[in-house]
Amino acid sequence: TRTYVVTGSASGIGATTAQLLRDRGERVIGIDLNNADVEADLSAPEGRTAAAAKAIEIADGIIDGVIACAGISAPIPKTISVNYFGVTELLEQLRPALAKSEAPRAAVVSSMASLQRHSAEMVDAALDGDEAKALEIGAELSAQGPQVGYLVYPSSKRALSRWVRRQSISPEWAGNGIPLNAVAPGTVLTPMTQKLLETEESRAMVDANVPMPLNYHQPPESIANLLIWLTSVENTHMAGQVIYDDGGAEVSLRGDDV
Ligand code: NAD
């Protein structure tokens, strides 16, 4: 039995991932705002520290896999805190417990949205570890209304994907034998997208942003199964990859250059 920490375990992709792992007989420690083994707010530094400490305690000090799904898509500054700092700081704090495993693995959920228009300034602030500055930029963006405020979301995911690529080959991650990767979904049918897909008009808008030639909107299982493979014993050499599991949306946007 492997011990996994899954964030965002109360809903959508995280809930599906936690359930599929439990079905396989693995041990899952869920982290979420509510309805989780560890209830914590990952938007704040204290919440991250408390969540990491509690998860490590429940795991008796050794964690085999971390799967970070918790995230929000609201056009507000907090989105950078949850989606970037809530993932990277938590992962850093769980890393010592991962390093004690015989086959440690970590995977995060980025997004196809990381390829959309974003704030390069916010991405840089995040990668610099400057949460206060990132929040300041977020406040400036969201003050200009929801359309500009939305830029916080693609910025948070772009920063997260880049963090994964940088860290994956570092002494801390590769040096400790921990494969670190990201999955970038297209449009997944979860509570996050439910409202957006309700009316024909807003659905058309989402579909224009995320062209999916293959099989249209995806079930959470499509992402959960990939996260599970990435964090399984079988993944011995994949590192730093942002895997677009998105119905071909990324190919549609970026073309055939490899
Ligand atoms: P969801 O809303 O169903 O689940 C997200 C979970 O994260 C919720 O349970 C929520 O409570 C938790 N969460 C939010 N803020 C938190 C906080 N401050 N502290 C702790 N937990 C918090 O959404 P989902 O669709 O399952 O999304 C999971 C991940 O996938 C997110 O990172 C999202 O950005 C990403 N994603 C989703 C889609 C999509 O189309 N649904 C597409 C691309 C990427």
Q: What is the ipTM of this complex?
A: 0.99
Please give the positions annotated as active site.
Answer: 153
Distance between start and end Cα atoms, the chain = 38
Whether ligand 1 lies within 6 angstroms of the CB of 8 is answered as: yes
Looking at residue 30, which CATH number applies to its domain?
3.40.50.720
Whether ligand 1 lies within 6 angstroms of the CB of 45 is answered as: no
What's the whole-model pTM score?
A: 0.98
Q: Is residue 257 part of a domain?
A: no
Closest ligand 1 atom to residue 7 Cα is 21
Q: Is residue 233 part of a domain?
A: yes
Going from the C-alpha of 9 to that of each of 20, 36, 134, 149, 185, the distances in angstroms are 11, 7, 26, 26, 17
Q: Is residue 128 part of a domain?
A: yes
Listed in sequence order, the residues at least 6 apart from 40 whose beta carbon sits closer than 8 Å to its beta carbon are: 31, 32, 33, 47, 48, 50, 51, 54
Q: Is residue 201 part of a domain?
A: yes
Residue 86: domain span: 3-249
pLDDT tens column, 22-63:
999 999 999 999 999 999 999 999 999 999 999 999 999 999
Q: Is residue 125 part of a domain?
A: yes
Q: Is residue 108 part of a domain?
A: yes
pLDDT tens column, 82-95:
999 999 999 999 99
Q: Is residue 258 part of a domain?
A: no
CB burial string 209-221: b at 16+ within 10 A, e below: bbbbeeeebbebe
Instruction: Please list the residues that pair with 4 across neighbouring strands.
Output: 28, 65
Please state the domain count of the chain: 1
Could you give the CA distance from residue 244 to residue 163 in angstroms, rounded to a whole number?
A: 16
Whether ligand 1 lies within 6 angstroms of the CB of 82 is answered as: yes
If one residue of 7, 20, 72, 157 were mutated to test the ligand 1 pocket, choosing by the most ligand atoms within 8 A of its CB, it would be: 72
Could you give the CA distance from residue 166 to residue 187 in angstroms, rounded to a whole number?
A: 26
Could you give the CA distance from residue 134 to residue 125 in angstroms, rounded to a whole number?
A: 5
Q: Is residue 65 part of a domain?
A: yes
